[in-house]
Amino acid sequence: MTFYDVLVKETEDQRRDLYSAPQLVAGLKGEISKDTYIAYLTEAYHHVRHTVPFLMAMGARLPERSEWLRTAIAEYIEEEIGHEEWILNDIEAAGGEKEAARTSSPHFETELLVSYNYDYIARKNPVGFMGMVFMLESTSTQIATAGADALKKGLGLPDRAFSYLYSHGSLDLEHLEFFKKTVNVIDNKEDQAAIIEVAQKTFRLFADVLRSIPLKSTSMEGDQYAA
């Protein structure tokens, strides 16, 4: 097995838990309200705006054995710059207020996801952040396009309200292939263990972020939160 295969295997339980979040299940069926979609985008903004700072922090703290990773990090940074603005534009296109979203406070669960990664990079092993990258890349390619298609149909919103999801969906498969090639070069056991640990934890934390979003489903009455 390649290390990527091991990473997939070691995160099976956490991925299953994420995909069972009611907000995600309803979203993939196109059964969430516009308010819930905007609330999701707002939390996405609050963690996506840290992606480039995460990568820069990781690169600055790499140990000598991982110096070669800087090239991959530089490529990731170039690809990720400005994505948070796409999310704000989607909010506006969906009928929300982009500046209100920009200045809003993230949910505690989103703060925890962000804080965990900064802490791990600074205090434990910066290479572990590749686990967060895996969570984001694998999740987006699995569900983003399907979710955008379902929501566009269910909500009657224009394509421009889904630029973030579409750009991180099936069209993003090249990024996942690049990730596979990159992590399969990592052979240090400590680094591999760190990547698995961060991946497992961030799948759980991201599931909590989704569950923190008020869910108003077209198949349910009223606002609901998952336990």
User: Would you say residue 217 lies in a domain?
Assistant: no
At 60-112, the pLDDT tens digits run: 999 988 999 999 999 889 888 888 999 999 999 999 999 999 999 999 999 99
Alpha helices by DSSP H, listed for 81-167, are 83-93, 98-103, 108-123, 130-155, 163-167
Sign of the dihedral defined by the CA atoms of residues 39, 41, 44, 49, in that order: negative
Three-class SS state of 226:
coil
Residue with tokens 């995600």: 24
What is the mean predicted confidence (pLDDT) over 4-31? 95
User: Would you say residue 224 lies in a domain?
Assistant: no
What is the number of structural domains in the chain? 1
User: Would you say residue 11 lies in a domain?
Assistant: yes
User: Would you say residue 63 lies in a domain?
Assistant: yes
Using the predicted structure, report yes or no on whether residue 172 has a pLDDT greater than 90.
Answer: no
Is the separation of the CB atoms in 68 and 96 below 8 Å?
no
**Which one-letter DSSP state was computed for residue 220?**
S
User: Would you say residue 218 lies in a domain?
Assistant: no
Residue of higher predicted confidence among 219 and 175? 175
User: Would you say residue 100 lies in a domain?
Assistant: yes
What is the domain range of residue 63?
3-211
What is the mean predicted confidence (pLDDT) over 115-125? 98
What is the mean predicted confidence (pLDDT) over 198-226? 80
- Residue 43's identity, in one-letter code, is E
The whole-number pLDDT of residue 222 equals 45
At 131-144, the pLDDT tens digits run: 999 999 888 877 88
User: Would you say residue 72 lies in a domain?
Assistant: yes
Using the predicted structure, report yes or no on whether residue 226 has a pLDDT greater than 50.
Answer: no
At 5, list the tokens.
Answer: 């295969």
Domain of 56, CATH number, reads 1.20.910.10
Q: What is the pTM of this model?
A: 0.91
Q: What percent of the chain is modeled with pLDDT above 90?
A: 75
198 vs 194: CA distance, rounded Å: 6
Using the predicted structure, report yes or no on whether residue 4 has a pLDDT greater than 50.
Answer: yes
The whole-number pLDDT of residue 219 equals 52
User: Would you say residue 206 lies in a domain?
Assistant: yes
First to last CA, the chain: 37
The whole-number pLDDT of residue 171 equals 53
Using the predicted structure, report yes or no on whether residue 174 has a pLDDT greater than 90.
Answer: no
The whole-number pLDDT of residue 225 equals 46
The whole-number pLDDT of residue 140 equals 80
